Amino acid sequence: AYGIVPADAMETRRVAGRIVPAMITTTALVSSLSCLELVKVLKGLPLKLHRNAFVNLALPFFAFTAPLPAEEIAGVNGKTHTIWDRIVIKGSSKSPVESMTLRKFLSKVQKKASCGDEFEIANLSFGPFMIYANFLHSHDDELLDTPLIDIVKDAIISGDDGEDEMFSGDDANKDESVNNMTDEQMAALKKLKEKRFIDFSVMVESQETGEEFELPPIRLMNSEK
């Protein structure tokens, strides 16, 4: 299945013999250094106590440098965030994730991100799929009142990253897309069902200046997982 050519006992011993020296030298050192950094992470130590390691055992050469902090990205109201930040959205007993509409989700995002009335959500994307765009869907009550999970599934089934086909509302086209799904699309739907969360990309727009800002990835937690 993996395209590995079968080998006899002697060939296996030859290959394994070459692997063992690497495992007890470079691999062992790299693993040890990684574990040391993991301990620092678990203890919550500051970034200045962490180290990048550059090693060449053949020379030998060992160099350690302090890592740089993550680049800050400009956000709304003068705030900044990094690629490691997330805005987490969870369901509730009144609004479980499975039935949370796009309208409710956008409202929660705006509140969590502290955007206020002076900012409007410009677009919402899931991977390559544009789920929502204010210039197209701000008055589309049918879309806004559809559960977000269903919209994501429709996007995957359609296999089209353009919004015209995704939100056409044509049941015949939708049924045809379901019947013609590729293995890749079916795998994506299965993965979506099994994941504990879904990440979305969101841009907001200042209603006063029209300037756009990117929010940290919006993570929707799956209440069933």
CB atoms within 10 A of CB 196: 10
Distance CA 197, CA 200 (A): 10
Note if the pTM is more than 0.85.
no
Task: Considering only CA atoms, give the Rg of the chain.
Answer: 24
How many Cβ atoms are within 10 Å of 86's Cβ, its own excluded?
14
pLDDT tens digits along 152-210:
988 888 875 544 444 555 555 555 556 677 888 888 888 888 888 999 999 999 888 88
What's the pLDDT tens digit per position in 87-137?
999 877 777 888 889 999 999 999 888 888 889 999 999 988 999 999 888
